[in-house]
A and B are shown apart, each in its own frame.
Chain A
Amino acid sequence: MRYFAYILALLAGAALSFEGAIYGELGKSIGQLETSFYNFFMGSIIIGLLWLFFGKGKISYVVEAPKWTLLGGVLGVVYLTSIVISVPFVGVGITMVAVIIGQLVMSMVIEHYGWLGSKNSRINKEKMFAVLSMIIALVLVN
């Protein structure tokens, strides 16, 4: 099951790349903000249907959950908006490198301190090497 989660995370990234390339084209005809809206709107419908048929959790938990755990959607919008604004100024390459470095460093900090309800797992040498290798890879791609 653990290996399976690793493969799912890889697939998630692959989906994101296809999505980016396709939405790049869509953005040219209907606009960037409109493309993001389309993505979230359609996504709500797709997941809404899946949830109706296969939802096993407890949606009513959202009214009792701590409010900060409901911020996922807003953060996704901040992410999208920052990319849309930055690309025309510094280009896609630098934008992606900056986003990914922000993401990796923050992931390490979050996990190290166990913030935001994530399971607390100390930074170790291996994780530092992993982040370092990713940064080298990013520089080589650009």
Chain B
Amino acid sequence: MGIFMILFTLLGGITLSAQSSINGTLSRKAGTLETTLLTFLTGTLFLAIFIVFFSEGNLLAILEVPKWQLSAAFLGTLYLLLTVIAVPKIGVIATSILGIIGQLVIGLFIDHFGWFNSLVIPLDLKRSFALLFMMIALYFVYKGNKRSSEASPAKSHN
């Protein structure tokens, strides 16, 4: 069961990079805000169907939860919007790696300080080395991108 779940989750990651490229392509013709809006609208429609059939929680409890928990919607929107802007400029892989680095660095801080009621996991030596490797990845992705665009200057202006 565990292995099957891991494969299933790999598929989740695959869909995320496919989403970045597809949205990047659509945004060139339809525009950034328009592409983001379409992604949210179709996502809402699909989830509405899911909710109708599989809902086990309580959607109406949304009116009673602390308001700060609802503020995350702005962050989700920001993520999608920024991704749609970045992909046509720097490519799928650079956007993915930079996005993951941003996510991990902030994740390490949230863990370290235990923000938002999360489990406190201190920033130890191992995790500091992880930060170092992310910086190395950042360097290589920048260099790799620069080399690709030098190798095919005509294509890089698409």
Chain A positions within 8 Å of B, measured between CB atoms, are 1-2, 5-6, 8-26, 29-34, 36-44, 46-48, 50-51, 54-59, 61-62, 65, 68-79, 81-83, 85-86, 89-90, 94-95, 98-104, 106-108, 110-111, 115-122, 124-127, 129-131, 133-134, 136-138, 140-141
Contacts and interface: CB of A to CB of B under 8 A. Distances in A.
Contact of A34 (B44, B51, B144): B51
Contacts of B92: 107, 110-111, 118
Nearest to A69: B26
Contacts of B58: 29-31, 34
A50 to B, nearest CB: 6
A101 to B, nearest CB: 6
Interface in B3-18: 5-6, 8-18
Given A51-B34, A89-B2, A140-B129, A23 B39 contact: no
A5 B86 contact: yes
B118 A9 contact: no
Contacts of A11: 78, 82, 102
A106 B18 contact: yes
B50 A10 contact: no
Interface string B78-104: 111111011111111111111111111
Contact of B31 (A26, A41, A57): A57
Contacts, number: 444
Contacts of B38: 59, 62, 70, 72-73
Contacts of A129: 136-137, 140, 144
A117 B24 contact: yes
B120 interface: no
27 contacts: A11-B82, A12-B83, A12-B98, A13-B103, A16-B102, A19-B72, A19-B75, A21-B118, A22-B75, A41-B47, A43-B76, A47-B77, A59-B30, A69-B26, A85-B5, A86-B9, A90-B6, A98-B12, A99-B12, A107-B96, A108-B93, A116-B22, A122-B152, A126-B140, A129-B140, A134-B133, A136-B130
B9 A83 contact: yes
A43 B9 contact: no
Q: Which of A24, A50, A73 has the most CB of B within 10 A?
A: A73
